[in-house]
């Protein structure tokens, strides 16, 4: 039976993994939703905020296996909005930072569907912070880049070549499968000794951290068996972290 309410879809950022890092506004939107479409990286604890009478649809992917294509997700949002009125699209991190939120908004508005964006805390900032890494620090880093390691056509982002030449902190999302290509780029620009961290499942109870330099990070990944989902952080700020500083002091990466 078609709902009499005006159809609306709210894109909600679930944050980086820790369920406590969703916004209050996001929680309230989940409580009011009649249908929730959620992704793989969304912490399932957040579904406890959803009404027991609401419809919950998993539309995420794991290890390249898609439950639904993006086109199918578009249609699910549209159909459920018309049928139930109030749909929540729960996405990991922030919907507009490599979350395809812009594409979903464009599709929905082309059908006259009302939309709302509720920003989430991006993993690009929250995950380094969980390890005590400040992406910017006076006298150390004046800016930071956030780059996808893998583009929509499964290639390495060309922006990494530009970022490797800068003094900025570089945060690479979805880059683990391209690590073997990323490392030589930084080496090419004389960054072999720059501190580097990889954080898997950041902000969650099963978080794993590997630290080293560009020259050693692949060995670290192998030793610690790090894999996706993980974030790569390259920059001098890594060794400034109180939590990680002892590693660099022990291996004399800090200046004398």
Catalytic sites, residue numbers: 39, 61, 174
Using DSSP's 3-state secondary structure scheme, residue 129 falls into helix
- At how many degrees (to 10) do helices 101-109 and 70-84 cross? 50
In the numeric block, the tokens 């979903």 are attached to 104
Dihedral sign for Cα atoms in the order 140, 183, 15, 81: positive
Q: What is the DSSP letter of 4?
A: S
- Rounded CA separation 98/108 (Å): 18
Residues in CB range of 157: below 8 A, 6 or more apart: 147, 148, 149, 150, 151
CA atoms within 13 A on the CB side of 4: 0
- Rounded CA separation 61/75 (Å): 17
In the numeric block, the tokens 């249908």 are attached to 35
Number of continuous H segments (helices) and E segments (strands) in the chain: 8, 12
- CA distances 155 to 103, 164, 170, 194, 228, Å, are 20, 17, 18, 24, 17
> Both tokens of residue 230?
């993980």
């Amino acid at each position: 039976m078609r709902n009499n309410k005006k159809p609306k879809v709210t894109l909600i950022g679930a944050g980086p993994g820790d369920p406590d890092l969703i916004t209050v506004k996001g929680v309230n939107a989940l409580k009011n939703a009649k249908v929730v479409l959620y992704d793989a990286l969304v912490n399932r604890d957040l579904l406890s905020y959803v009404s027991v009478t609401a419809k919950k649809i998993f539309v995420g992917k794991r290890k390249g296996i898609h439950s639904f294509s993006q086109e199918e997700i578009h249609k699910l949002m549209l159909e459920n909005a018309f049928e139930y009125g109030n749909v929540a699209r729960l996405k990991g991190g922030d919907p507009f930072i490599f979350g395809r939120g812009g594409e979903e908004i464009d599709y929905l508005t082309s059908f006259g569907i009302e939309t709302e964006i509720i920003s989430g805390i991006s993993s690009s900032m929250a995950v380094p912070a969980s390890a005590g890494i400040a992406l910017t620090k006076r006298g150390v880093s004046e800016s930071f880049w956030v780059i996808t390691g893998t583009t929509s056509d499964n290639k390495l982002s060309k922006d990494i070549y530009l970022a490797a030449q800068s003094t900025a902190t570089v945060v690479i999302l979805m880059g683990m499968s391209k690590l073997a290509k990323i490392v030589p780029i930084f080496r090419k620009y004389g960054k072999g000794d720059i501190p580097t961290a990889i954080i898997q499942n950041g902000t969650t109870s099963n978080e794993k951290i590997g630290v080293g330099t560009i020259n050693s990070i692949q060995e670290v990944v192998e030793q610690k068996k790090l894999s996706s989902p993980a974030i790569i952080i390259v920059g001098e700020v890594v060794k400034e972290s109180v939590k990680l500083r002892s590693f660099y002091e022990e291996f004399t990466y800090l200046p004398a």
